[in-house]
Chains A and B, each alone.
Chain A
Amino acid sequence: MLSKIKNDVQNVGHLTLELISGIGAVFVFLIVTLSHSATSFQRFSLTIREIFFSGVLSLIIILVSGLFVGMVLGLQGYETLQTYGSSDSVGVLVALSLTRELGPVVSALLFASRAGSAITAEIGLMKATEQLSAMEMMAINPIARVVGPRFWGGVLSMPVLTAMFISTGVLGGYMIAVLLIGVDSGAFWSQMNAAVDFSHDVLNGLIKSFVFGLAVCAIATYQGYSAAPTAEGVSGATTRTVVSSSLAILALDLVLTAFMLKG
């Protein structure tokens, strides 16, 4: 009995240490990637290629989800605000919840599962097929050649995708609230315009999404680069990317929101 408890406590300790060392390893990897960025940017076409794969190809899912999230917000918001007789404020509700929270978080979660997992799988498979070792043999630094462009491609795409997500979301809310339900169009836009502050709401939302992009891309590239060079290793790394970057997004969101609301 006593040894079982001891075993459990040991497991907890082991998991905690593993978690902390994992966070530390991602940070070290991030710093290494950043220090090789200058070399990566010398061939900027590689980064543009990655912006295409992580950004442009994620557009469909981002735009469609943004539209639906906005529509649902419009519908739910109207339903609730109507009980208080202030259904005109539905635009404010849609715009504020999208710019402050839902836009950055949901688009980052989608990005992590759509592009982050792809980055991990690609780098992991390159490692499994010894392409990374082959590069090192040719005196090409794989961090500068493979990791850097993928990292920056994702980081640069993330705020753009978020801005588009929020915009389509607001249009979705407009479609439901104004075109379908019949809230006054002037009240919808003018109340929204008065309530949403550009620097406090929109820019803070984009700063959030930039930080989420950093976190997702750092985790995705690290997991790919440190994956065991086997089929199981790559599949496990892909799963870990999605799980840990989703958790990182939500945890970072809490911290960032606490700081931003204070300021």
Chain B
Amino acid sequence: MNRATLNLWVGIFVVGGFIALLFLAFKVGNFAGGNLGETYSVVAHFDNIGGLKASAPVKSSGVLVGRVMSIQFDTKKYDALVTIRLDKRIPFSSDTMASVLTSGILGEQYVGLETGGEVEMLKEGSEITHTQGAMVLEKLIGQFFISKSQESGEGAK
């Protein structure tokens, strides 16, 4: 086999590899979807984040507007400190409400944003003060039992 044929085959091989990589990047993976373009980051304190993970989606009205950048434990307030990256083209008012929600019954957890009425907008590094943590199943069941027992107690009277 002469050198030109050899080079041709190796060239086809390498090009095929690149096509496979592009396929993996754009069709299989979210190489483009994970890219938000220019972003600004804000922080939020949550009393409980449940199963929220770094790089989880941040949605407003179900539309992806950002991603969770990091989750830390704040030793001053003893709660979870979540840093969020938001798309620069989407401004949110400074009294935006952030809550940890779940998509579907067994779905992944995400941060939901609901914008408020303030004129001032969130800036790089500002904090979302209105937050609601994740629902904890045990607490919900506990509340259910308490309200049930109260109901039956009232019924006995």
A-B contact number at CB 8 A: 80
Q: How far is the CB of A131 from chain B (nearest CB, A)?
A: 20
User: Is there contact, CB below 8 Å, between A49 and B6?
Assistant: yes
Beta-carbon contacts under 8 Å, B1-43 to A: 1, 3, 6-7, 9-10, 12-14, 16-17, 19-21, 23-25, 27-31, 33-34
- Taking A99-B24, A163-B21, A167-B20 as contacts, is the C-beta distance between A197 and B29 under 8 angstroms? yes
User: Is there contact, CB below 8 Å, between A193 and B30?
Assistant: yes
A248 on interface, CB distance cutoff 8 Å: no
Beta-carbon contacts under 8 Å, B53-107 to A: 55
With a cutoff of 8 Å between Cβ atoms, the chain B residues found around residue A201 in the complex are 29
Report whether over half of chain B's contact residues are helix, strand or loop; otherwise say mixed. Answer: helix
Q: Complex Cα distance A163/B22, Å?
A: 9
With a cutoff of 8 Å between Cβ atoms, the chain B residues found around residue A206 in the complex are 21
With a cutoff of 8 Å between Cβ atoms, the chain A residues found around residue B20 in the complex are 160, 163-164, 166-167
Q: Complex Cα distance A95/B30, Å?
A: 12
User: Is there contact, CB below 8 Å, between B30 and A52?
Assistant: no
Closest to B19 in A: A167
Tally of A interface residues using CB under 8 Å: 29
User: Is there contact, CB below 8 Å, between B6 and A193?
Assistant: no
Give a binary string over A187-215; 1 marks a CB under 8 Å from any B CB, 0 the rest: 00100111011100110001000000000
A179 on interface, CB distance cutoff 8 Å: no
User: Is there contact, CB below 8 Å, between B30 and A167?
Assistant: no
- Taking A55-B10, A56-B13, A197-B55 as contacts, is the C-beta distance between A167 and B33 under 8 angstroms? no
Q: How far is the CB of B71 from chain A (nearest CB, A)?
A: 15
User: Is there contact, CB below 8 Å, between B17 and A193?
Assistant: no
Tally of B interface residues using CB under 8 Å: 25
User: Is there contact, CB below 8 Å, between A202 and B24?
Assistant: yes
Give a binary string over A237-249; 1 marks a CB under 8 Å from any B CB, 0 the rest: 0000000000000
Closest to B12 in A: A56
Q: Complex Cα distance A51/B6, Å?
A: 9
With a cutoff of 8 Å between Cβ atoms, the chain B residues found around residue A59 in the complex are 13, 16
User: Is there contact, CB below 8 Å, between A163 and B17?
Assistant: yes
User: Is there contact, CB below 8 Å, between B25 and A56?
Assistant: no
User: Is there contact, CB below 8 Å, between B13 and A189?
Assistant: no
Q: Complex Cα distance A201/B7, Å?
A: 32
Q: Complex Cα distance A196/B29, Å?
A: 5
With a cutoff of 8 Å between Cβ atoms, the chain A residues found around residue B13 in the complex are 51-52, 55-56, 59, 157, 160
With a cutoff of 8 Å between Cβ atoms, the chain B residues found around residue A163 in the complex are 17, 20-21, 24
User: Is there contact, CB below 8 Å, between B31 and A160?
Assistant: no
Closest to A201 in B: B29
Q: How far is the CB of A186 from chain B (nearest CB, A)?
A: 13
Q: Complex Cα distance A159/B24, Å?
A: 13
User: Is there contact, CB below 8 Å, between B28 and A56?
Assistant: no
Residues of B within 8 A of A (CB): 1, 3, 6-7, 9-10, 12-14, 16-17, 19-21, 23-25, 27-31, 33-34, 55
Residues of A within 8 A of B (CB): 45, 48-49, 51-52, 55-56, 59, 95, 99, 157, 159-161, 163-164, 166-167, 170, 189, 192-194, 196-198, 201-202, 206
- With A52-B6, A52-B13, A163-B21 known, 19 other A-B pairs at CB within 8 A are A45-B3, A48-B7, A51-B10, A51-B13, A52-B1, A55-B10, A157-B13, A160-B14, A160-B17, A163-B20, A166-B20, A166-B28, A167-B24, A193-B27, A193-B33, A196-B30, A198-B24, A198-B30, A202-B21
Q: List 20 A-B contacts (CB under 8 A).
A: A51-B10, A52-B1, A52-B13, A56-B9, A59-B16, A159-B17, A161-B17, A163-B21, A164-B16, A164-B20, A167-B19, A170-B23, A170-B27, A193-B33, A194-B30, A194-B33, A197-B34, A198-B25, A202-B28, A202-B29
